[in-house]
């Protein structure tokens, strides 16, 4: 119950932020989510889409095109920041903390090859998957995916996601919260699957690293 109340309070705070600061708030929230900060974009852009209608705005409505444009720009900027952090700090992070996060330079080399082969669909589709859309830029940077390719695919994926959420919020008007609620509920099975995969991946990596150290000793 407390978690639910905290979530409701967070959503209300985001709505007030967007209502009071408009396009600036949208840019900031989109940037933050794409820079690995967990912010529910269905609330941000569902509400922003609803604010493009007179019945919800209760004043001068936001412009639908500008909401989408600002959201996409903010998402791309945030993604670029996370990408550059991963690209510039990846190797040094492994040098310093690799044994604690179960990563080696060999892993980064493998990730680079994987992103070279499957990076395009991962970045593109990852923009509509919960959790993945928030953090996908960091591993893309760690794997040194080509910058131009990353930014182009990110812009396409973000444009599709922001346009979908904003348009649904606009169409729903004062009922936009129902749209956000359904999106939130639909994400739970995906989140559950991701947790299982993360646990499996962690156990597998732990065993691999442990076995590697045993062989070296």
* H or E, element range at 192: helix 176-216
Per-residue pLDDT at 188: 55
Confidence of residue 176 (pLDDT cuts 50, 70, 90): confident
Highest mean pLDDT among 21-35, 52-66, 175-189: 21-35
DSSP string over 1-54: -HHHHHHHHHHHHHHHHHHHHHHHHHHHHHHHHHTT----HHHHHHHHHHTTSH
Neighbours of 200 (CB within 10 A): 10
> pLDDT tens digit string along 110-147?
666 767 776 778 888 878 777 777 788 888 888 888 89
**pLDDT at site 1:** 34
Which residues lie closer than 8 Å to 83 by C-beta, 6 or more apart? 137, 138, 140, 141, 145, 147, 150
Cβ atoms 142, 86 nearer than 8 A? yes
Per-residue model confidence (pLDDT) at position 141: 86
**Which carries the bigger pLDDT value, residue 8 or residue 40?**
40
Tens of pLDDT, residues 41-95: 888 898 899 899 887 777 789 999 999 999 999 999 999 999 998 888 766 665 5
Checking if the pLDDT of 2 tops 50, the result is no
Q: Residues 175-202: what's their mean pLDDT? A: 58
Q: By CB neighbour count within 10 A (0-12 exposed, 13-18 middle, 19+ buried), where does 202 fall?
A: exposed
Position 8 scores a pLDDT of 40
Find all residues with CB under 8 Å of 23, minimum gap 6, and list them: 62, 66, 67, 70
Among residues 64, 21, 60, 73, the alpha carbon closest in space to that of 45 is found at 64
For residue 216, what pLDDT band results from cuts at 50, 70 and 90? Answer: very low
Q: What is the pLDDT of residues 153-172, one digit of tens each?
A: 999 999 999 999 899 889 88
CB atoms closer than 10 angstroms to residue 159:
17
**pTM of the full structure:** 0.74
Q: What is the 3-state secondary structure (H, E, C) of 107-174?
A: HHHHHHHHHHHHHHHHHHHHCCCCCHHHHCHHHHHHCCCCHHHHHHHHHHHHHHHHHHHHHHHHHHHH
Of the candidate ranges 7-16, 150-159, 207-216, the one whose mean pLDDT is the lowest: 207-216
């Amino acid at each position: 119950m407390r978690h639910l109340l905290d979530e409701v309070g967070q959503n209300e705070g985001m709505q007030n932020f967007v209502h009071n600061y408009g396009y600036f708030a949208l840019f900031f929230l989109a940037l933050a989510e794409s820079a690995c900060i967990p912010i529910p974009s269905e609330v941000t852009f569902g509400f922003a889409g609803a604010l493009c209608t007179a019945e919800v705005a209760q004043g001068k409505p936001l412009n639908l095109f500008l909401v989408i444009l600002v959201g996409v720009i903010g998402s791309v900027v945030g993604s670029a920041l996370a990408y550059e952090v991963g690209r510039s700090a990846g190797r040094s992070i492994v040098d310093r903390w690799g044994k604690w996060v179960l990563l080696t330079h060999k892993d980064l080399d493998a990730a680079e090859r994987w992103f070279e082969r499957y990076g395009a669909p991962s970045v593109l589709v990852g923009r509509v998957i919960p959790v993945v859309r928030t953090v996908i830029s960091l591993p893309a940077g760690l794997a040194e995916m080509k910058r131009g390719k990353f930014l182009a695919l990110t812009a396409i994926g973000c444009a599709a996601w922001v346009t979908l959420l904003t348009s649904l919020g606009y169409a729903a008007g004062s009922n936009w919260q129902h749209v956000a609620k359904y999106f939130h509920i639909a994400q739970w099975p995906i989140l559950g699957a991701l947790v299982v995969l993360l646990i499996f991946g962690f156990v597998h990596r732990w065993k691999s690293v442990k076995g590697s150290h045993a062989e070296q000793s």
